[in-house]
Every structure is written in structure tokens, then in C-alpha cells.
Amino acid sequence: MEVEAAKLIGAGLAVIGLGGVGAGIGNIFASMISSGARNPGAIPQVQLFMWIGFALVEAVALYALLISFLILFG
């Protein structure tokens, strides 16, 4: 196998985690909308945890993208 082909396959495998990230972000915001619809008074308390969860899930996406770029261009 050529080195360039191996790099492309490795980079593709490194970004498989982005599928889980999309599902995680969708789950976070769906839960926020659901909890806000059930109890609008609790939105300020739940919103902080929503943004923390979003940031942590998004960090996983950035790490996966970084690893993919390191494989491709490293």
C-alpha cells in the first residue's frame, strides 16, 4: 500500500468520531428544548449545563479533526 493511500485511510478513520459528535450535540439541544417546554422557569439553571456539555462535545470534534489533519499533513 502506498503511503499516501494509508494517510487518506487513516484520516478517514480518525474522523469517524464526528458522527457521534453530531448525535451528541443534537441530543443536548433536544433535551434543552424538551426541558424548557416542560418547565420554562428552569431554563436559566439548565442553560449553563447545556453550554458546558456542548463545549465538551465540540472539543471531541476538534480533537478528531486535529488528529485527521496531523495524519494527512504530518
CA–CA gap between residue 43 and residue 31 (Å, rounded): 11
Alpha-carbon Rg for the chain in angstroms: 17
Q: What would the mean pLDDT of 44-57 be, rounded to a whole number?
A: 95
In this predicted structure, the answer to whether residue 74 has a pLDDT above a threshold of 90 is no
In this predicted structure, the answer to whether residue 1 has a pLDDT above a threshold of 90 is no
pLDDT, one tens digit per residue, over 2-33 is 998 999 999 999 888 888 999 999 999 999 99
DSSP the chain: --HHHHHHHHHHHHTTHHHHHHHHHHHHHHHHHHHHHH-GGGHHHHHHHHHHHHHHHHHHHHHHHHHHHHHHH-
CATH topology for 3-73 is F1FO ATP Synthase (1.20.20)
Domain boundaries, the chain: 3-73
